[in-house]
Amino acid sequence: MILSIKRILLFLISAATLLGAAERPNILWITSEDNAWNWLGCYGNQEAVTPRLDALAEGGLMFTHAYSNGPVCAVARSTILNGVYAVTQGTQHMRSRHPIPAKFKPYVSYFRELGYYCTNNSKTDYNFKGDDNALWDECSPKAHYRNRPSADQPFFAIFNFTSTHESTLFPDVIARNRKSGVIPKTTRLAPSEVAVPPYLPDLPEIRSDIASYHDNMTAMDKQVGEVLDELEKSGLAEDTIVFYYGDHGGAIPRGKRYLEDTGVRVPMLVHVPEKWRALSPFKAGAVIDEPVAFVDLAPTVLSLVGQEKPAQMQGRAFLGPKREAPGEDDVVFLFADRFDELYGMRRGITDGRWKYIRCFTPYLPAAPYSYYAQGQAGWAAWQKAWQDGKLKPEFSAIWEAPQPVERLYDTASDPMEVKNLAGDPAHAEKLAAMRDRLKQTMIEASDTGLVAEPMFSELAEGKPIAGYLAGRKGDVPKLAELAFLASEADARNLPELTKGLASGDPVTRYWSAQGCLILGEAAAPAAEALVALLGDSSTSVRVSAAHALFVIGRKDEGKAAVLAELERAKTEEAQQNVVNTLTTFGALDEIPE
């Protein structure tokens, strides 16, 4: 949505005047877990029953291209909390609790300094070392803005609903929720009649899960309504700006944990009451197609209370007097790394239409990225159908390796991202441009994913890996170039990769070994250089070299080296990496109890 310069200036002047007063708006965040944008009626889902959220959209602002930068909760929350990409902080690995630099200050700290009463009800999961609860005035299932010491004190309050979490599709949870009346005794929609998206096989279990999830969405919508009704009854509705958003995509297969829109594109609705209308450049009921992302939320809420964006924050304020209009070339940065026990590094960018995804670990299948999701009948049925050879190739591909290194989607013509245009000569120019833009974005963000997670403790010695990489700022472009080169699977790169195997830098050795692994048999001439790395000082380099030896044909040697690594692994991350590697060549049965 393009605004005239005159209108923007008038908006900024009036908003600044409004916030010049001592009074500031309350802010209420309502979040729901594991639901992408397309599960709500207001976003066009004809099967949805979400009346309260639809009404919120009708009277408020509906962002059609809102994104969770990371497609899983803890990674997303660390990005939201600090207004900094998880990959910049070193918080991209699920529930990792690595330390981060002190300069990454949570937005809630700024609010408390302004005198706000800040409550969180109640999920934290911020994914870095520290006491999550201590950030808040109140953080518990009973936390509520009504508990503030004075009725005159402004508040920032979060209510987080788990009624749509992926675990609510586990058969025992479905049964319990139907018995307790949380959802109907039988599905509102007949499973035989639901729409199955084109990226999923048409299996009875998947149909059943889709029908059940619609019931979960309706139950969540009711919870949202209860919070809004309570706000109205309290007499605070006209003083309070309300945000609703989903914490990332999901919960049916190929949602959560994936960089396709089904994993990262979320519903985001904002209600700005008449009293604070000057804080929004958009009219009530506006449908806004400019891309916004979770990294933008902290700058935005600070802007709504008249505060400048702190220097360390990377997002842009999309509301309030400090609003920054999106640039013509702006993209949303997307990232995915280790989820629970399974590694798999992917990065992506989108401008709201074109999406580019790069896989830096194409030797790993794209499913599962977490065994936890297998608790769903739909996920389990999909895997069994693949194992039984009953699927068409397009539905088998997610379970197999190698995966495509590059994916390019035109989400305008292909909203479910089933047609990869990366190999289409007609889109070669767009592919190259998006590839270069992703690389530059990773460099600008000082992407700590360029360092393998088991190396964090080796290189940073208990300190933030972000600090380590900041000390090597001049090397980041070279490391990014090497990561892209390593993932190309081009035999012409072997001389450079072989040279890198002998580097004095462990990160360079790691990516060079990864490049040989991705090349497979074509890397056979580098075998002796890989053997030399089996005694490397870094566990990630040793495992990568052993894995590469396995795939180039020296299987016994590679397998023995990886199994030996189990005895040497000193951290949980290193152990996970070893087990993950053994899984790829079917050696899990050889792991000692």
Q: Measured in Å, how far apart are the chain's first and last C-alpha atoms?
A: 59
Strand partners, 407: 357
Three-state DSSP class for residue 118:
strand
Residue type, 34: D
CB 442 within 8 A of CB 511: no
d(CA 292, CA 270): 12
d(CA 499, CA 526): 10
d(CA 50, CA 222): 8
Task: Report which DSSP code applies to 308.
Answer: P
d(CA 546, CA 540): 10
- DSSP string over 289-304: -S-EEGGGHHHHHHHH
Reported as type and span, the H/E element at residue 505 is: none
**Sequence-ordered list of residues with C-beta below 8 angstroms from that of 235, at least 6 positions apart, any chain:** none
Cα–Cα nearest to 142, from 127, 159, 155: 159
d(CA 88, CA 427): 31
> Has 42 been annotated as catalytic?
no
Cα–Cα nearest to 409, from 365, 363, 327, 352: 352
Strands 26-32 and 287-288: unpaired
Q: Provide, for the chain, the percentages of residues in helix, strand and coil under a 3-state DSSP scheme, each rounded to the nearest 5.
A: 50, 10, 40
Measured in degrees and rounded to the nearest 5, phi and psi for residue 271 equal -110, 120
Reported as type and span, the H/E element at residue 243 is: strand 240-246
d(CA 546, CA 564): 10
Three-state DSSP class for residue 100:
coil
d(CA 269, CA 107): 20
Quote the tokens at residue 184.
């109907």
Strand partners, 365: none
d(CA 245, CA 249): 11
Strand partners, 120: 139, 158
CB 66 within 8 A of CB 266: yes
Given 73, 118, 359, 516, the catalytic residue: 73
**Sequence-ordered list of residues with C-beta below 8 angstroms from that of 231, at least 6 positions apart, any chain:** 28, 237, 240, 242
Reported as type and span, the H/E element at residue 266 is: strand 265-271
**Sequence-ordered list of residues with C-beta below 8 angstroms from that of 389, at least 6 positions apart, any chain:** none
Residue type, 276: W
Q: Which residues are catalytic?
A: 73
